[in-house]
Amino acid sequence: MNNNYKKNEFRPIIGIDFGTTNSAVAYIRNKKPQILESANGGRVIPSVLLIDLGDNVVVGKDALDSLVAMPDRTVAAVKRRMGSNNPIYVSGRDLLPQEVAALILKELKKSVDALFGEGEKEAVITVPAYFTDAQRRATKQAGELAGFVVERIINEPTAAALAYGLNNLKKDGHILVYDLGGGTFDVSIVELMSGILEVKASTGNNFLGGEDFDWKLVDWLANKIINMHNVDPRGDIRAKALLKKEAENIKIKLSSEETVKIIIPVVTVKDNQPIGLSTRIKRREFVNLIDDLLQETIELTKNVLKDAELSVGDIDEVLLVGGSTKIPRVYELISDLFDKNPRDGINPDEAVALGAAVQAGLKSGALPTSELIATDVAPFSMGVAVLKEWKLSRLKPGGFAVIIPKNTTIPVTRSEEFTTTYDGQTEVSIEIYQGEHEWVSNNHKLGEFLLGGIPANHVGKEIIEVKFRYNLNGILEVQAECVSTGKEMTITVQDALDRGSQKSFEESMEKIKSIYKEREEEIEDREDIIYSDEDIDDEGIDSEQSWESLIEEADTYIKQLNELKGIMEEKQQKQADKLIRRLRKAIENENDVQAKIEDIIDFIIDLTL
C-alpha cells in the first residue's frame, strides 16, 4: 500500500442502532441525519434471524413472522446475550451471540451497499450506556464480522442527545435522556452548552425492557389457560413462541386502547384436543403487571440525578427514547417526577440511529466539528485488586481500589501508588477490574499482568505506580512502574476492536461464510481497496479536505501545547516535546495521526485539571 492511500481513500461512514427488538441505519445527507430505508421499504427492521429449511439466512419481518412456526430455526433478542460465551443453538448450528448479531447486521449492510456501492463501509454502532467491556467488544466484533470497519462504539443516550443537540445548537441546559428499549434501560444526564454536549452521569439495567413486559404478559396469558384447562402452554416451545408474539401485539395495542380483546383459536393441545384462549385485558391490568419494573427505572433516574448532583428542577428537557417509552404509563411517571411533559417531536424508535449518524458525520467531516462537540463518561469504575482491611483490621486479598471512578469524563488519565505487601517481594500481579463493589469477586475482570524486577526490600518500602489511561475510542491502557528502578510494563486491556484472539475471529468468519455458502476475501485483504472518484457519492466527503482538516487540527493542538509550556514543570515540558515529535512523525508518515492527537488532548486535560 503506497503512502498516498490515507489521503486518497474514501470510505462511507454510517450510524447503526443495533437494538434488542429493532435495528436501524442512518447516514448524513445535506448535513442532516437521515434514516436509510431497508430493501423492503422499512425504516427499522426487526432484529430477528431465521435460517430456513433451505438453509437460507432471513432477517427482519419474515424472520419475525417465523418465530412461531420455526422457533428452533429463529433467534430474537440476541442483544441481551452479547458478551456471553454460551452458544445459541439454531437450525442445527451452535452460533455465538456476536455471530448471530453479525448475520443481522449483514442485512443492514445490504441497504448501505445499495446506497454507496460495494466496498468497505465504516460504522458507528450504539450500545446501552451500561454495557460491560465484554458486551461492547462483542458488539464491535459483530460489526466487523458483518463486513463493517467499526470506527466507534457510543452510548445510546449520548447518541440520542447528539441528535437533539444538532437541532438545538444555541440552547443551554441539562437534558435527561430516558432510554427504555426492547431489552435494556439507560438513563443519562447531558449538559448542552452552546454546542458542547457533556455527559454528566449515566446508569441503567441491561436486563430491563420491553422483552420483560412481554414475558409478564406471557405468564398472565399462560395462567388464564392453566386456570381454565389445567395445562401450562409454556412447556410447548411453539405455544410459548405464540404467546410471546401475542403478548407483543397486546402491549402495542394497549398503548392506544384501554381494553384489548384476545382471541387465540389454538395455543396448545391436550388429550388430542386443541386448547385456545378468549379473554380481555385492560390497560390498568397490564400496568399492574409491569409497574415494579417501571418503578425501578424511576429509582435509577433518581440515582443518576444524585450522581450528577442535580435535582429534578435542574432538568430543562426530558427526552424519551426507545420503543417501550410509547407505553402511556412511562409518560405519566416521567411527567409526575419532573413536573413537566417530556419533549415532543422526537421519534423514540429512530433517535438513537440518527444520533449515531451525527457521530459518524462529526468523525468523517460531513458535519462541521466546530458546531457540536460531545464528551462521554466511563460507565463503570475501573481499578485493581488490593489487600483490604477486613474484620478487626485483618488484611484480606481481593479488595477493589478504584483508579477511574464511574461517570468520570473521558478521555482521562489517573494514577495511584501502592506498595509491596511482604518482605523480599520482587514481583507484583496487577489484576484489573470494572465494577462498583468493594470486593473484586463481585466485579468484572478485564485482565492482569505481572510486573517483575522489583528490588527485594522490606514490606511497604517499594512503591508501585499504576496508571490508567482511558480514551475516546474505549481503550483502557494500564501501566505499572516500580518507582525506585523505573522498570515498567504496559498492557492494553480494554480495546474496542479487540477480538479476543485472531484465531477465534477467523473461526467465526468461516462459520458465517459457510452459512452463506460463499467464499469471500479474507478480511485482512480489504486494506487494498482504493476508491476512484466515480465511487464517491455527491453527498460523500472530500477525502483531501478531510486530510487537510486533520492536519489543521494537529497544528492547532501543537500550538496550544507550546503555549502551555509556560505553566509546565521541566518533566512535563519534556513529555510535551515528545508528544509533539510523535505527532509530527505521524503526519510525515501519514499514519496514526488521530491517535497521536488524542494523546495530546489527554495530556492537556491532565495538565489543566
Q: pLDDT tens, 45-65?
A: 999 999 988 889 999 999 999
The pLDDT assigned to 402 comes to 97
Spatial separation of the C-alpha atoms in residues 342 and 332, rounded to whole Å:
10
The pLDDT assigned to 531 comes to 40
Q: Cell numbers 426487526 correspond to what residue?
A: 46
Q: Which of 99, 107, 151, 179 is catalytic?
A: 179
Active site residue 179: yes
- Of 106-110, 138-142, 454-458, 519-523, which gets the smallest average pLDDT? 519-523
Active site residue 339: no
HEC readout, 419-436? ECCCCCCCCEEEEEEECC
Superfamily of domain 210-288: ATPase, substrate binding domain, subdomain 4 (3.90.640.10)
At residue 359, what is the residue type?
Q
Decide if 474 contacts 127 (C-beta within 8 A).
Answer: no
What is the rounded average pLDDT of the residues 519-546? 41
> Helix, strand or coil for residue 351?
helix
Residue 336: pLDDT over 90: yes
- Please provide the average confidence, as pLDDT, over all residues in the chain: 85
Active site residue 156: yes
The pLDDT assigned to 4 comes to 37
Query: What is the DSSP secondary-structure string of 479-517?
Result: EEEETTT--EEEEEEE-TT--S-HHHHHHHHHHHHHHHT
What is the rounded average pLDDT of the residues 228-232? 94
Decide if 457 contacts 420 (C-beta within 8 A).
Answer: yes
- Band (pLDDT 50/70/90 cuts) for residue 218 is very high
Decide if 371 contacts 365 (C-beta within 8 A).
Answer: no
Active site residue 79: yes
Per residue in 407-431, pLDDT (tens digit) is: 998 889 999 999 999 999 999 999 9
The pLDDT assigned to 369 comes to 61
Q: What single DSSP character describes residue 472?
A: T
The pLDDT assigned to 105 comes to 96
Residues near 8 by Cβ (< 8 Å), separated by ≥ 6? 530, 543, 544
Spatial separation of the C-alpha atoms in residues 121 and 10, rounded to whole Å:
9
At residue 527, what is the residue type?
E
Spatial separation of the C-alpha atoms in residues 128 and 430, rounded to whole Å:
29
Range picked from 268-272, 306-310, 361-365, 475-479 for highest mean pLDDT:
306-310
Residue 501: pLDDT over 80: no
What is the CATH number assigned to the segment(s) 382-494?
2.60.34.10
The pLDDT assigned to 392 comes to 66
Residue 588: pLDDT over 90: no
What is the rounded average pLDDT of the residues 307-314? 96
561 versus 289: which is more confidently predicted? 289
Residue 498: pLDDT over 80: no
If one counts every other C-beta atom within 10 angstroms of the C-beta of residue 264, the result is 18
Domains of the chain, by residue range, sit at: 210-288, 382-494, 543-608
What is the rounded average pLDDT of the residues 33-37? 93
Residue 538: pLDDT over 50: no
Spatial separation of the C-alpha atoms in residues 576 and 478, rounded to whole Å:
20
Spatial separation of the C-alpha atoms in residues 518 and 514, rounded to whole Å:
7
Decide if 498 contacts 139 (C-beta within 8 A).
Answer: no
What is the rounded average pLDDT of the residues 359-365? 87
35 forms bridges with which residues in the sheet? Answer: 26
Q: In the chain, pLDDT over 90 holds for what percent of residues?
A: 56
Per residue in 319-328, pLDDT (tens digit) is: 999 999 999 9
469 forms bridges with which residues in the sheet? Answer: 413, 477
- Band (pLDDT 50/70/90 cuts) for residue 602 is low
Residue 2: pLDDT over 50: no
258 versus 344: which is more confidently predicted? 258
Per residue in 150-181, pLDDT (tens digit) is: 978 899 999 999 999 888 888 899 999 999 99
Spatial separation of the C-alpha atoms in residues 37 and 26, rounded to whole Å:
9
Spatial separation of the C-alpha atoms in residues 152 and 543, rounded to whole Å:
19
Q: Which of 79, 216, 244, 596 is catalytic?
A: 79
Residue 607: pLDDT over 90: no
What is the rounded average pLDDT of the residues 210-238? 95
Per residue in 388-408, pLDDT (tens digit) is: 887 766 788 899 999 999 999
At residue 552, what is the residue type?
E
Q: Which of 107, 133, 151, 156 is catalytic?
A: 156
Q: Which of 17, 151, 481, 599 is catalytic?
A: 17
Residue 232: pLDDT over 90: yes
The pLDDT assigned to 605 comes to 55
Q: Provide φ and ψ at 307, rounded to 5°.
A: -60, -35
